[in-house]
Amino acid sequence: MGPPVGLAPVANGRSPGSALVLPEPDGLTGRWPAPRAPAARYDEPAGGAVRVAYLMSRFPKLTETFVLFEMLAVEAQGVAVDVYPLLRGRDTGVHTEGASVWTKLVERFRTPRAGGVMHGEAAPLVARARYQPALSLPILKSQLFYLWHRPRAYLGALGTLLRATWGSRRFFLGGLALFPKTVHNARRMAADGVSHVHAHFASHPAAAAFVIHRLTGISFSFTAHGSDLHVDRHMLREKVAAAAFVATVSRFNKRVIDTACGAGALGADGRDKVVVVRSGVDTGVFRPEASIEPTADGVLTVLCVGTLYEVKGHRYLIEACRLLAERGVDVRCQLVGEGAYEARLRAQIAEAGLGDRVLLLGRRTRDEIAALLRAADVLVVPSVPTTDGRREGIPVVLIEAMASGAAVVASDLSGIPELVIDGETGLLAAPRDAAGLAGALGRLAADHALRRRLAAAGRAKVLAEFDIDHNAATLAGYFRHGAAA
């Protein structure tokens, strides 16, 4: 599927044979590349602005800033956005990333802890979000409404959902539990004049968007990121075949979808409906200091931001720090985030004698992370594929770090090499290779000029392909095109 008329493709990677122009700071006091001007809005179709309903698993969620800020950026493009979370985000202290169905169920009955952190920008969207309980009298009335007025659509959507997810306990039970409120949301969207539905993640949100489409005829799309695509692909073909378009954050993911879905990834006109739309960041918020100063004390400041669980690979970074300390490299590492692996990581740090070198900082807000990135020499993302198939897409914190002027070291995994070009915009190491991470960090500790060059190239790469305003304009164009079709 090509871009709508008048909409140039944005953020789909470099064209064959093209070169990435890398503005270099002028010595140690040179200026960094500045963000491009915001993209122009496209003319609204006859009848007024497109109204897009966003579906996501939980909202608000501190670790999914890319969903929050994409919605705000799409609104800035003149698209009306409604928010329909499947579940209300609750800070209970139970970490659901990678958890079992039982753990997630228990979490829903836990009392939220005091002092929960939420991005301030989320508050207006939370205030108008269309939260629904699992079951209520209005939800029951909506079942009866569709059974009376559109029984074939209702039973057909339910039948496809159950048939296509059979064999996946998570998708089958989750889809069944969410079906009643999804039907009610379909009725509300139709009444509110929603013209398109967009789901974040190829899992339950995309299934809900599929059901809404079958009941109402409203077009839908979804964005596939990482583990939502790689762990379990039950119902993926049905979702892709019915979608107006499918966005994904990397060419790697696009190849996965194309291979899994075959002809289902093509529209009725035979054009490819799977498009690469990069996750974008605000290159004004995530920006480097005005000048680059050499590290005065010789300490290499390393930062790692991510939920503390297996797929993030923290244990290999901690081991890399131990190896560096053995070699006499003065490294200080800060880990930002919470998660189920916190206790075992603390034990590993203590056992390695790194208590004064590796610090766990817990949760941090977006502004706090932006400040930490500007102060860091290197951002490390040591992601690994897990035994159950989880893997990262392109971690947003990598984009934020490169926009902020930090050199980056990351795993050679999934779509990461599309952002971190080894030796050009950052350094790559094999997943689970602590020695490789230590080697890359050792190079950066010894070569300030290399850090400066990689940082400048990384900033240029983000400005060219990962700016949130330009990528939101691309997405808004696809929304208008899908709604019109």
Q: What is the pLDDT of residue 100?
A: 52
Find the range with the poorest average confidence among 22-26, 286-290, 374-378: 22-26
Residue 115 has pLDDT above 60, yes or no: no
Q: What is the pLDDT of residue 293?
A: 55
- Sheet containing 274-276, strands listed edge to edge, beginning at the edge strand earlier in sequence: 80-88, 51-59, 196-200, 219-224, 245-248, 274-276
Residue 281 has pLDDT above 50, yes or no: yes
Q: What is the pLDDT of residue 427?
A: 98
Which of the four pLDDT bands, split at 50, 70 and 90, describes residue 408?
very high
Which of the four pLDDT bands, split at 50, 70 and 90, describes residue 120?
confident
Q: What are phi and psi of 171, to 5 degrees?
A: -75, -35
Q: Which of 335, 336, 404, 334 is nearest to 371 (CA)?
A: 404
Question: Average per-residue pLDDT in the chain?
Answer: 84
Residue 197 has pLDDT above 70, yes or no: yes
Residue 191 has pLDDT above 90, yes or no: yes
Residue 23 has pLDDT above 90, yes or no: no
Q: What is the pLDDT of residue 231?
A: 80
Q: What are phi and psi of 265, to 5 degrees?
A: -85, 5
End-to-end CA distance of the chain: 12
Hey, what are 38's tokens? 């915001």
Q: What are phi and psi of 333, to 5 degrees?
A: -120, 130
Q: Comparing 57 with 28, which gets the higher pLDDT?
A: 57
Percent of the chain, pLDDT > 70? 81
Q: What is the pLDDT of residue 8?
A: 35
Q: Is 167 exposed, middle or buried (0-12, 13-18, 19+ CB in 10 A)?
A: exposed
Residue 413 has pLDDT above 50, yes or no: yes
Q: Is 421 exposed, middle or buried (0-12, 13-18, 19+ CB in 10 A)?
A: middle
Question: Of 50-64, 209-223, 272-286, 354-368, where does the model show the most confidence?
Answer: 209-223
Q: What is the pLDDT of residues 417-438, one digit of tens each?
A: 999 999 999 999 999 999 999 9
Find the range with the poorest average confidence among 45-49, 165-169, 385-389: 45-49
What are the structural domains, with CATH classification, of the chain? 49-280+467-484 (3.40.50.2000), 300-465 (3.40.50.2000)
Q: What is the pLDDT of residues 433-477, one digit of tens each?
A: 999 999 999 999 999 999 999 999 999 999 999 999 999 999 999
Query: HSE on the CB side for 103, CA within 13 Å?
Result: 10
Average pLDDT of span 146-153: 96
Which of the four pLDDT bands, split at 50, 70 and 90, describes residue 58?
confident
Which of the four pLDDT bands, split at 50, 70 and 90, describes residue 31?
very low
Which of the four pLDDT bands, split at 50, 70 and 90, describes residue 332?
very high
Average pLDDT of span 345-362: 96
Q: Before 60, cis peptide (omega within 30)?
A: yes
Q: Which of 103, 7, 116, 119 is nearest to 67 (CA)?
A: 119
Residue with tokens 């040179």: 30
Q: What is the pLDDT of residue 33?
A: 47
Residue 64 has pLDDT above 70, yes or no: yes
Find the range with the poorest average confidence among 39-48, 88-97, 253-262: 39-48
Percent of the chain, pLDDT > 90? 65
Q: Which of 400, 413, 430, 342 is nearest to 97 (CA)?
A: 342
317 with 334: CB under 8 angstroms? no
Average pLDDT of span 164-183: 92
